[in-house]
A and B are shown apart, each in its own frame.
Chain A
Amino acid sequence: MMNKKAGARTISKNKTKEFEVLVKDNMKRAYFSALGFLGSHDAAMDVSQEAFIRAYRNFNRFDTKKNFFTWYYKILRNLCINFIRDNKNRKEEFFLEHKKYEDSNNNPEQNLEEKEESEMVHIAINQLETEDREIIILREFEGYNYEEISEILNLPAGTVMSRLFYARKKLAKKMKRLME
């Protein structure tokens, strides 16, 4: 009886420990994926954490031979879509900024231009449909390759390429309109 209890406690403890490692390994990309969908730090934190909680509750169903993030992303994606549906009037923050390079000088005029450019890109991205926005974020900001996106979104690589192309095209159109 004692052994059984001890065994159960070990499994539970191991599960939590194992899960903690998975969370720490994946929290950044989870947060950034949610941020790309929701455009708000607070919402991205809340939804990405909630997705981890749901993943934890269903952890027994997770096939450990498969990629955790791919499995987790499906939960996260559904939660983000529900959040967008339920919070149509939510406020979005500017979540993009220019990359700073070591050799870049601290020119106020340049900084202002960069700020304006990143705000314009942000507005244009926000105007995209969720699917277009998602694929742009995954490829251009999170740096996943086609195979990884194909696995995450469960789409053939050719479809990923095609969707990316059209998403960029729509983004270019929106940006052009904003610049006029």
Chain B
Amino acid sequence: MNERFIILLEKHFENELTDSESQEFQSLINSNIGLKQEYQEQKRIKEVLKKMKMKNPSREVWDSYWMGIYNRVERGLAWIVISIGALIFFGYASYETVNAFINDTHTPPLVKFGITLLIFGALILIFSLIREKIFTSKRDKYKEVQR
């Protein structure tokens, strides 16, 4: 497609053509039937689109728009604070549990060994599942394909 024609056409729609450009545009569409058809098609589409607008939501939606953002920011902050608190709490609880477990003289060594393996295995399992969830699913190029 003639790039010059496209620029002139768009300028024509915007009423931005100078006198000389207007003459150039008219001579282009008068001398070339293909360009004239393109012009008519573009004009028709523009006219159809001009009649339309996007549906406007109710006034209440706009009134509560900012509060929606503010609440989400506030809640996001609350979750960060809760997560940090939980991390500290569970970190300390785990440390104390492990300490008590190591210093416990009543539990037989074989049971201690079994419990250690159990916890270690569970940790590997959780780590593997998280890794799969976070990394593998993101890199699966074919996840959209219906198998």
B61 is an interface residue with CB less than 8 A from chain A: yes
Across the interface, do B49 and A140 meet the contact criterion of CB distance under 8 Å? Answer: yes
CB-contact partner of A32 in B10, B41, B52, B54, under 8 A: B54
- Give Cα A114–Cα B52 distance, bound, in whole angstroms: 9
Which residues from chain B contact A35 at a C-beta distance below 8 Å?
54
CA–CA, A146 to B46, complex, Å?
15
A53 and B69 contact, CB distance less than 8 A: yes
| A141 with B52, Cβ < 8 A, contacts A162-B3, A165-B10 known | yes
Across the interface, which residues of A come within 8 angstroms of B113, CB to CB?
none
Tally chain A residues at the interface, Cβ within 8 Å.
43
Docked complex Cα distance between A135 and B50 (Å) = 15
Query: Which residues of B (106-147) have their CB < 8 Å from a CB of A?
Result: 144
Report if A56-B73 is in contact (Cβ < 8 Å); known contacts: A146-B14, A158-B3.
yes
Q: Is A74 an interface residue (CB 8 A)?
A: no
A49 CB within 8 Å of chain B: yes
Which of B41, B42, B52, B70 is in CB contact (< 8 Å) with A99? B52
Q: How long is the Cα–Cα vector from A96 to B51 in the complex, in angstroms?
A: 10
Q: What DSSP secondary structure best describes chain A's contact surface?
A: helix
Q: Is the C-beta of B78 less than 8 angstroms from some C-beta in chain A? A: no
Is there contact, CB below 8 Å, between A117 and B48? yes
> Residues on B close to A: CB < 8 A?
1, 3, 6-7, 9-10, 14, 38, 41-42, 44-46, 48-55, 57, 61-62, 65-66, 68-70, 72-73, 76, 144
Which residues in A have some Cβ–Cβ distance to B below 8 Å?
Answer: 20, 23-24, 27-28, 31-32, 35-36, 41, 45, 49-50, 52-53, 56, 88, 94-99, 114, 117-118, 121, 136, 140-141, 145-146, 158, 161-162, 164-166, 168-169, 171-172, 175
Apart from the given pairs A121-B52, A165-B1, 17 other A-B contacts in the complex at a CB distance below 8 Å: A24-B66, A27-B65, A35-B54, A41-B55, A45-B61, A45-B65, A88-B144, A96-B52, A97-B53, A141-B53, A146-B10, A165-B42, A168-B42, A168-B46, A169-B38, A169-B41, A171-B45
